[in-house]
Structure 1
Amino acid sequence: MAEPQRGTENRTETHIRTLSSDEPPSCSSLTTKELQQNLREVKKRERPVRLLFEIPSTRIIHHVLSKYVVYEIVVMRSGSFDSHRVPVERRYSDFSRFHHKLLEEFEEELEDVVLPRKHLSGNFSPEIISERRLGLQDYLAKLYSVRCVRHSPHFAKFFTEQEQKRAHDLLRAGQFKPAVEQLQNVLEVEEKLLPWQNPTLIVPTLSALAVCYRDLEEPEKASAAAQRALPPVRRYGLKNYRAALLDLLVDLGYQLGRPVAQLQEELTVLRDAERGEVSPRSLKELVVQQFP
């Protein structure tokens, strides 16, 4: 009789160990304090991600016949998980052009959002610069609170277009390493903006990175960038990018010793189905024409 009893005890112990390691405790076994803690954790995970804008510093740029102030803007996602701060610099004139573009499209929605005014004199005094820095920081926060503005392509371009142009100028000049550094910064900002922007926003940046890495003879990184660009290209029907990315990935696949039959078949089907509509240009040819 003793033997069956020991088996029963072993099974019971095993069952207890399984519950404690693999299953969460039932609500009835938790104290009120533990339930409150769990609820706080759930709320924290479900908290919507927001963008925060900080202008921590400014500097005065002196030229022979002119000088101006540039404002360092840091775009962050709310929450401690966003620890990488990528700054961009903009002049007041950049803010002014941006604001007028938005007014052309969203005049009614921006009725209560005012760009800090430019003073007729004293624009370079520390007090005026500090006042405008805080005003521009508040201006960006108010813009972001307007739904149609934060979803507008103008919003993303304000934070990325100048850097994109510099990166593509470097790429066209064959300066691939500094181009990669610039493009990586652009990608960081674009990733922060993605919840409110079309996912194709990152396609030109990833494509340019793939081209740079290819010319730097880093096929693994080139393939990774191209692979990441492909899903939004497929989903949103960017035919020219799709053919060019597939062509690059097939070539890199042969170079890296990876299977390419599926990619090759997709490329063939695409070209057959869209004959005359899909450009035969390479990814590099597409990229160098971006951001002239």
Structure 2
Amino acid sequence: MASKLFDRLRRTIFKEGAQSSETNGTDDFPESSELEDDTDCVSARLSGTLCFEGDGVLESEDTGDASGPDSDSDFFGESLDNACSSTDASPMGPSPKSSNMITRQLQENWRSSRTRSVPEKLIFEVTDASVVHETNSKYVLYTIHVIHSGMFDKTPAVITRRYTEFERLHSRLRRHHGDDMEGVYLPRKKLRKNFVAETIAKRSRAFEQYLSHLYSLPELRTTPTFLEFFYLGDLRAGQMLMRVGRYEESLGSFLNALRLQEKLGCHQLLHQNHFQRVHWFFTLSALVSCFQDLEQLSEAQEHCDRALQDLAPSQEAFQQHQLHPLLIPLLQSNVRLSWKISKDKRRWEALLQEIQDQGIDIGNQPNLKELLIKESIEDSEGAGRAKSKCEDTL
């Protein structure tokens, strides 16, 4: 749409310039190459939210032109075209008639979009790319927001990843899901100019499209390898912080891990995927423990209740004493928390009493924090598919 508008403006200006040159004997019309350059300028001005930090980004041979167009993602193609049509960055602003037409079209599109249901999907947007200098290495760290589309997302989740982590993900997916990875490509490494702003911007857009492509394939978006790429780092970081008593910092990691698992639909895979089940209950239990230590009792009870809704055993599992190790500590925590905040605790008290009547010593169980600190958070690639400690039966 933007290119058509520029072509129309170019032809109109050319006619006016030709008439002016015939009457005045001079040609003041700019060369077409200048218009093309200005079109590029419009694209650059309409760039996304990506920003660059770090001295390494300034290593471009021409720092004035290093940034380049900033957003060529397929998700925003149509909106960028509309934005280009109404921008005032062109050599000559659009006529009032064309501006009114564009405004009317936008209003009609907005009204129609409100009447039809917008399918919900995930958007992966690189919002920052920072050059990190370490003792013996230098790399670019990409910050990626994971956002629900089709609605206002109040709780976007964030990950930070470097190229080698994307490369590891790609390698694992190709090794275990080679047939499904046909046509999925990762941007290649470059021998030079890896820290130039233009390279970083292009690679950022490529990472967005790469993750979007993977997520669009049902066979890949539910695999443990793909899911763990997003949240497993937060779980491990949160556990390390919890071990040294830094509960407020660990709380942030666990909350981000929970948001990521929710957006990726991990809670819908509890009965299909062993590791998703382990990681989901670990996340909820860790949040209970952190909120308790920070004296945020209502939040602790809310997450405790959420975990117990899925952990409550079936009658058959109950009779065979096949109880999840986190069940009793969570029940005990929920009863205490519910009593403190004056919430109904009779359901969980009854279940706890029923477990005790089955001959299980509920008083000789490790508490919730002890279980979480000792737990080894394995991924689907490690431990030879061995069961987690939190999946052993009592």
Please confirm whether the aligned pair reaches a TM-score higher than 0.5, indicating the same fold.
Answer: yes
Percent of aligned pairs with the same amino acid: 31
Q: Could you say what secondary structure the match of 1:285 adopts?
A: helix
Given candidates 197, 201, 213, the residue that maps to 2:291 is 213
For the 8 Å contact 1:72–1:88, the answer to whether it is kept is yes
Q: Could you say what secondary structure the match of 2:179 adopts?
A: coil
For the 8 Å contact 1:165–1:291, the answer to whether it is kept is no
Provide structure 2 residue ranges, at least 5 long, that are not aligned to the other structure: 1-109, 271-276, 318-322, 378-394
For the 8 Å contact 1:243–1:271, the answer to whether it is kept is no
Partner of 1:74: 145
Q: Distance in 2 between matches of 1:235 and 1:198?
A: 17
Given candidates 226, 232, 239, the residue that maps to 1:155 is 226
Q: Distance in 2 between matches of 1:210 and 1:229?
A: 9
Given candidates 369, 383, 392, the residue that maps to 1:284 is 369
For the 8 Å contact 1:55–1:133, the answer to whether it is kept is yes
Q: Distance in 2 between matches of 1:131 and 1:251?
A: 53
1:89 correspondence with 2:160: yes
Structure 1 residue 58: Cα displacement: 0.6
Q: Could you say what secondary structure the match of 1:113 adopts?
A: coil
Provide structure 1 residue ranges, at least 5 long, that are not aligned to the other structure: 1-36
Partner of 1:270: 355
Residues 202, 42 of structure 1: alpha-carbon distance in 2 compared, 3 angstrom cutoff: farther
Higher helix share: 1
Residues 274, 60 of structure 1: alpha-carbon distance in 2 compared, 3 angstrom cutoff: farther
Q: Could you say what secondary structure the match of 1:53 adopts?
A: strand
Please give the residue correspondences for 1:131-280 in structure 2 after superposition, counting only pairs within 5 Å. 131-194=202-265, 197-199=268-270, 200=277, 202-234=280-312, 239-270=324-355, 272-273=357-358, 275=360, 280=365
Residues 99, 39 of structure 1: alpha-carbon distance in 2 compared, 3 angstrom cutoff: same
CA deviation profile, 1:22-81 (whole Å, cap 9, x unmatched): xxxxxxxxxxxxxxx99976641xx43211111122110011221111111111111132
CA deviation profile, 1:173-193 (whole Å, cap 9, x unmatched): 111111112222222222211
Paired positions, count: 253
Quote the RMSD (CA, aligned, Å).
2.9
Q: Distance in 1 between matches of 2:353 and 2:173?
A: 43
Residues 258, 142 of structure 1: alpha-carbon distance in 2 compared, 3 angstrom cutoff: closer
Residues 40, 138 of structure 1: alpha-carbon distance in 2 compared, 3 angstrom cutoff: closer
Structure 1 residue 271: Cα displacement: 5.0
Structure 1 residue 282: Cα displacement: 2.0
Residues 39, 235 of structure 1: alpha-carbon distance in 2 compared, 3 angstrom cutoff: farther
CA deviation profile, 1:134-177 (whole Å, cap 9, x unmatched): 21111111111111111112222111111111111111111111
Read off the aligned partner of 1:147 and give its amino acid letter: P
Read off the aligned partner of 2:169 and give its amino acid letter: F
For the 8 Å contact 1:153–1:197, the answer to whether it is kept is no
Partner of 1:99: 170
Larger Rg: 2
Read off the aligned partner of 2:164 and give its amino acid letter: S
Q: Distance in 2 between matches of 1:126 and 1:41?
A: 38
For the 8 Å contact 1:151–1:196, the answer to whether it is kept is no
Q: Distance in 2 between matches of 1:136 and 1:218?
A: 38
Given candidates 169, 180, 185, the residue that maps to 1:114 is 185
Q: Distance in 1 between matches of 2:347 and 2:241?
A: 34
Q: Distance in 2 between matches of 1:85 and 1:248?
A: 29
Residues 235, 118 of structure 1: alpha-carbon distance in 2 compared, 3 angstrom cutoff: farther
Taking structure 2 as the reference length, what is the TM-score of the superposition? 0.58
Q: Could you say what secondary structure the match of 1:76 adopts?
A: strand
Residues 51, 227 of structure 1: alpha-carbon distance in 2 compared, 3 angstrom cutoff: same
Q: Could you say what secondary structure the match of 1:240 adopts?
A: coil
Q: Could you say what secondary structure the match of 1:239 adopts?
A: coil
Q: Distance in 2 between matches of 1:225 and 1:113?
A: 38
Taking structure 1 as the reference length, what is the TM-score of the superposition? 0.77
CA deviation profile, 1:224-245 (whole Å, cap 9, x unmatched): 1211222122379762222221
Structure 1 residue 275: Cα displacement: 4.5
Structure 1 residue 85: Cα displacement: 2.9
